[in-house]
Amino acid sequence: MLNRDLLYKAVENFNIEIDARAYERLDIFAEMLVETNRSFNLTAITQPDEVTVKHFADCLSLFGFADIPKNSKIIDVGTGAGFPGLVLKLARPDIDMTFLDGTGKKLGFISGVLEAAGEKGTILHKRAEEAARLPEYRERYDFATARAVAAMPALCEYCLPFVKKGGSFIAMKSAQGDEELALAGGAVSLLGGRTDKVFDFELTGGLPRKIIIIKKISQTPTKYPRASAQISKKPLK
């Protein structure tokens, strides 16, 4: 299903290494994504080259820009059908991955792919702002990741509370990331973060992408995250 040549090229561009078994696991995911999508809407992207570049190469790019030590504990916030969390987990099974989404429907699909690929992960059917208030999830992760979930000010409030001091929140954005980041400066520091690195690059075909890495430098004050309505109506400034 995946276009191996396109995937190899992307992996080479990002200067990362992925073994043959990882490609097989990613292929199982891609096959199941397109097959399941026939009866249950998981993605608007179904053509093999597009799936390879816009979903798989896009998510793998994270390894090219962020250093993820072995056995890192990561929470993928608003994972949907598993992007980027399931791609990262299947490429690097040493990662301890939690898949969080407020909508339960696609989480069953992720469980099915993990099982078919012989891997394990934690499935968390909760809204981020609710889970992040619970002690078992708050400031427990080395990294939080998110792709296509919300604009940066709200996204920081969803994600930074999960990250341990010394860890990072990694946001995967397209071209509009610049304006969002400019608006999120206040939110980042109120939540205990500091913008560490911003990488601009292109996927095959010239698609602009941005990876924003926010370091957690102090604990998030207990009043955050606020309730959903406040986060969306009054984004932190």
The three-state (H, E, C) secondary structure of 118-145, written as one string: CCCCEEEECCHHHHCCCCCCCCCEEEEE
Amino acid at 80: G
* Residues 50-89 close enough to bind ligand SAM by CB under 6 A: 78-80, 83
- Residues whose CB falls within 8 Å of the CB of residue 147, separated by 6 or more in sequence, listed in order: 58, 59, 78, 83, 84, 171, 172, 173
- Select the residue interacting with ligand SAM from 158, 162, 169, 224 (CB under 6 A): 158
Does residue 153 bind ligand SAM (CB under 6 A)? no
Mode of pairing for the β-strands spanning 96-101 and 122-125: parallel
Cβ(83)–Cβ(33) below 8 Å: no
Does residue 103 bind ligand SAM (CB under 6 A)? yes
Q: Is the dihedral of CA 109, 134, 219, 232 positive or negative?
A: positive
Q: Minimum Å distance from CB 73 to ligand SAM?
A: 18
Does residue 225 bind ligand SAM (CB under 6 A)? no
The mark string for 8-47 relative to ligand SAM (x by CB under 6 A, - otherwise) is ----------------------------------------
- Select the residue interacting with ligand SAM from 116, 134, 148, 175 (CB under 6 A): 148
Does residue 169 bind ligand SAM (CB under 6 A)? no
Q: Minimum Å distance from CB 146 to ligand SAM?
A: 7
- Please identify, among the stretches 14-22, 123-131, 187-195, 201-209, the one whose residues bind ligand SAM according to the rule CB under 6 A: 123-131
Closest CA to 84 of 157, 64, 24: 64
Distance in angstroms (rounded) separating the CA atoms of residues 6 and 204? 8
- Please identify, among the stretches 14-22, 107-115, 126-134, 159-167, the one whose residues bind ligand SAM according to the rule CB under 6 A: 126-134
- Select the residue interacting with ligand SAM from 25, 97, 101, 168 (CB under 6 A): 101
Does residue 157 bind ligand SAM (CB under 6 A)? no
Closest CA to 214 of 175, 181, 179, 176: 181
- Residues whose CB falls within 8 Å of the CB of residue 145, separated by 6 or more in sequence, listed in order: 62, 74, 75, 76, 77, 84, 85, 88, 169, 170, 171, 172
- Select the residue interacting with ligand SAM from 73, 127, 133, 164 (CB under 6 A): 127
Cβ(49)–Cβ(6) below 8 Å: yes
Looking at the DSSP assignment, which residues form a beta bridge with residue 76? 99, 145
**In terms of CB distance, is 53 or 128 closer to ligand SAM?**
128
Q: For residue 217, what are its two tokens?
A: 């430098």
**In terms of CB distance, is 22 or 77 closer to ligand SAM?**
77
Q: Minimum Å distance from CB 211 to ligand SAM?
A: 13
Site residues for ligand SAM per CB under 6 A: 78-80, 83, 100-103, 127-129, 147-150, 158
